Structure 1
C-alpha cells in the first residue's frame, strides 16, 4: 500500500480543511508542502487528521504551540513503547530504544554520556581538523565540470566527521551513510534499499555487530573520548543490550548525518536560487554568523517530531485525549508568519536568526547542534575564500520522506 495520494495539481484552497493530510511523503519530495501548512496555520493550527496511512494524528503547526508541546514533558511523551518520535509507530515497541525515545530520568542520564564529545571545548579542538578536511574537499572538486554536490561534499564531509566522533575505521566510513539511509528510508520510495522492517532490521543487525565489536574492544581500555568509548564505559550506558546499542547508534548516526548533510546541500541551493544573498555575503563575510542558522531554518532537515499524550490536555482550544498521537511539524513552525518575519524568504542577515525549531527544544534538543553549525560555518568560510560560484545544472532530487527533508543528489558546476 502506497502512502502517497495527493496529486501534484491539487488546489489546496478547495480541500475541506478537515481532510488535509500533511503526512504524505510526496508533498516533501515535490517540495510543495508550503500551502498546506499555510492554510492549517491560518484556519486550524491544531489540526486533527482522522484518517491517514499512519492512523489518526494531531498536527501542531504554529511555532508557539510546537514549543509548548516540546517543553511539556509531563504531558507529551517520546517513549518508544508508546510509539516513539515519528508519525509512523515504532515497530519494535520497548524492545529497542534510544535516549531520544525515552522520557526522564533515563533520557538525561544516557544523553549526558555522549554530550561531552560535542561540548564547546571539544569543538575548539576539532575546528582545525574540520577546516583541513573542508579545504581538501573543496580543492578536489572539478572546475568547469558537472558533479554531484551531495556525494562529493555533503556526504563526504559529514561522514568523515562521524568517523571521527566514533573513532570509526576511516576506510569504512561510507557504511555510516548507508546505515543512516537504511534507518530512515521510506519503504515506498522507488529506490528504497530495504522494503520492510525485516529487511531494515537485518541491515541494522549487521551494523550492530560491527559497533559491538568496537564496543567490546573499548570497554576495558583507556578512557576514550569518542562516542563508542564513552557509551561502552559510561555508567548509564555500559550495560545496554544489543538492540538498545543498535537504537542509540542509529540515533547518533542519523542525528550526526542528516541535519548537517542536508543543510549543506539545501544551503548551497538557497544561495544559487538567491544570488542577491550570495552577493551580500561576499560583500560582508561576517554575515556567516547569521547565514548558518538561516540555512538550518530554511532547510528544516527534520520535517517533524512526534509525541504521545500521557493524559488529557488542551492545546489551541482543542481537546487532546490520552494516547493521542501529536505531531510537531518543524517545517511549518519554521515558516510561521507570526513568529518569523517573511519566513518564505531566504535572508542571510535575518534578525533573531537563531529563532527556529530545526534542532528541536527542551531536553530533546539536538545534542550536536553546535557541531552542525561549526561545520556549516567553516564550509562557507572556505567557499568565500575561494570566491567559488556555483551553477545548478539540473533539478535537485529530493528523497521520498515525511521525516527527513533530504536532497539525494544535486548536479552543480563551478564556473
Structure 2
C-alpha cells in the first residue's frame, strides 16, 4: 500500500465531551434549560474556568457579588481589550468597529456623555406622550380572541418605532433597524464563515445608510436625535467610518433587544405566573416594580465579557492577564442570596427587584435604561386601561445564542379580564 505523503496526511479532528458547565452553548438558551447549570455554578463554582468552548477558554462569573466586583474595577477588567462578547475578534477575517460600550476610560466617558442627553428625565417627559399614543394605537389594532405573534406585532414594532424616532430615521424603512439589530446581536453567526460574511455585509449596509443620514444633517441646527447629537459633539463628530458603524450598532442593538425582549417576557412571564398577573391586574400600583421584576426575570442580554489587564484574584481564583471573563447577568439576576429562593419566579411585589443587573453595573450601565423602563411601564399601563390579558397558546421560539436572551416568536391570544 502506498504511503500517504507527510504534507497531506490529516489527523481526524479531536472531539471533546460536552462540558455541562460550559454555559456558552446556544442550545441551553434555545431550549430554555440554562437554569440548572447556572444554579450549580452559583453554588459550587462562582468563578469557574472553562478550558474549551465554541468561543475558546473563558471564566464564568455567575454570582451577583462576583459580577459587581468585576464591574467596579474597569481598570483591571477591560471592555476594550477583548470586546464585550465571548466571540473573539479575528484579525484575519473581521473588521474592527469600535463602540463606546467596548471602550475604556477616557474615550468611553466622553462618547457616553455625547449620547446621554437623549435619555435625561426631561427628554423622557418630552417623549412620554408620543410613546403612549403609539402604544395605544398598536394595542387598539390587535385582534381579540384570535391567535397572533406578540413578538412581531407588539414588541418588535414598538421598539423599532422608538429607534426610528431616536435616530430621526425614515419611517417607511424602520424595519431595516430590526434586521440590522438581529444580525449584529447574534454572536453565533461569527462561528460560520458564510454567516460571518453575511453579517459583515449587513453591517456595512447599515453604515452606508446612516452615513447618508449623517451627511444630510451636517451644517444644520441641532435637533434632539442621536445623529445630530454626535455631529454637534467634540467626542464623536470626527469618528472614522468603522467607529461610526460600531456606535450605531451599539445603539441599535441596545435600544432594540433590551426593550423588545422585555416586552415579550412581559407577555410570556405573566402568563406563566398567574398569581403575579392577578396581583398586577388587581392593583396597577404594582406596575413600576413589575417593570424591574420583568427585566430581572428576563435579563435581555445574558452576558457581557471583560478581559483581565493584569494578573489578579477574583473570589479565590487566580486570573491571568489576557484571560477572558463572561459576566453572566442572567445568572446574577437569579442569585438566591440576593433575590431569595423564589428567584426563578416573577413576583411583582419583590421588594428588591430594582437591584437587578439587567442593565449592567458601574460605568457601563445601560445609558438608555430610563427609556426602556418607561416604554415597558407605558405598555403595562395601556394594557391595564383596556383590561387586556395576554394568553400564551404555544411555547415561544427562543433565540439560540448566549448573548441576546430573547424570543423569535410568541403565539398568543388576548382576552379581557
TM-score under structure 1 length normalisation: 0.93
> 1:101 & 1:270 partners in 2: Cα distance?
31
Q: Which protein shows a greater Rg?
A: 2
Q: Distance in 1 between matches of 2:256 and 2:96?
A: 25
Q: Which runs of 4+ in 1 moved over 4 A?
A: 186-189
Structure 1 residue aligned with 2:8 = none
Give how far 1:349 is off: 0.6
Query: Aligned equivalents of 2:155 and 2:249: distance in 1?
Result: 19
Aligned residues of 2:305 and 2:324 also touching (Cα < 8 A): yes
- Aligned-pair distance for 1:55? 0.9
Alpha-carbon distance, 1:267 to partner: 1.3
Q: Work out whether 1:400 is the aligned partner of 2:387.
A: no
Structure 1 counterpart of 2:27: 26
Residue in structure 1 matched with residue 216 of structure 2 by the alignment: 217
- For the aligned residue pairs, the C-alpha RMSD in angstroms reads 1.9
Partner of 1:265: 264
Spell out, residue by residue over 1:116-170, the C-alpha distance to the aligned partner (whole angstroms, 9 max, x if none). Answer: 0111100000000000000000000011210000011000000000000001111
- SS of 1:389's equivalent in the other structure is strand
Q: How does 1:361-400 map to 2 (within 5 A)?
A: 361-400=361-400
C-alpha distance in 1, partners of 2:156/2:171? 14
What secondary structure is seen at the aligned counterpart in 2 of 1:48?
A: strand
Distance 2:195 2:204 in 1: 14
Counterpart of 1:61?
A: 62
Instruction: Report if the CA contact (8 A) 1:288-1:377 is conserved.
Output: yes
C-alpha distance after superposition, 1:283-336 (max 9, x if no partner):
111000110000000001100000000001101100000000011001110011
Superposed counterparts of 1:118-133, under 5 Å: 118-133=119-134
Alignment check: 8 A CA contact 1:303 1:402 kept:
yes
Q: Aligned ranges for residues 124-143 of structure 1 at < 5 Å?
A: 124-143=125-144
Match of 1:226 in 2: 225
**Secondary structure at the counterpart of residue 134 of structure 1:** helix
1:315-394 equivalent positions in 2, closer than 5 A = 315-341=314-340, 342-394=342-394
1:410 aligns with 2:381: no
Give the match for residue 90 of structure 1.
Answer: 89
Give the secondary-structure state (helix, strand or coil) at the position aligned to 1:338: helix
Counting matched residue pairs gives 398
Q: Is 2:37 the partner of 1:43?
A: no
User: Which residues in structure 2 correspond to 1:78-227 (within 5 Å)?
Assistant: 78-79=79-80, 82-91=81-90, 95-187=96-188, 195-227=194-226
TM superposition shift of 1:197: 2.4
Question: 1:25 touches 1:402 (CA, 8 Å); kept in 2?
Answer: yes
SS in 2 for 1:401: coil
Q: Which ranges in structure 1 are unaligned for 5 or more consecutive residues?
A: 8-14
Give, in angstroms, the shift of residue 198 of structure 1. 2.0
More moved, 212-221 vs 319-328:
212-221
Does the 8 Å contact 1:187/1:195 carry over to 2? Answer: no
Contact (CA 8 Å) 2:308, 2:320: kept in 1 or not? yes
Superposed displacement of residue 344, structure 1: 1.2
What's the secondary structure of 2:53's corresponding residue? coil
Deviation (angstroms), 1:94: 8.3
Counterpart contact for 1:220–1:233, Cα < 8 Å? no
How far is 1:405 from its partner?
Answer: 0.5
More displaced stretch, 251-260 vs 342-351? 342-351
Structure 2 gaps, min length 5: 1-15
Which whole-Å CA distance do the structure 1 matches of 2:189 and 2:368 have between them? 30
1:83-121 deviation line (CA, Å, top 9, x unaligned): 200011134678320001100000010011111011110
Determine if contact 1:390/1:413 at 8 Å carries over to the other structure: yes
Tell me the alpha carbon deviations over residues 335-385 of structure 1, each in whole angstroms, 9 at most, x when there is no partner: 111111221111001101101110001110000000000000000001011
Write the distance in 2 (CA, Å) between the matches of 1:372 and 1:226: 17
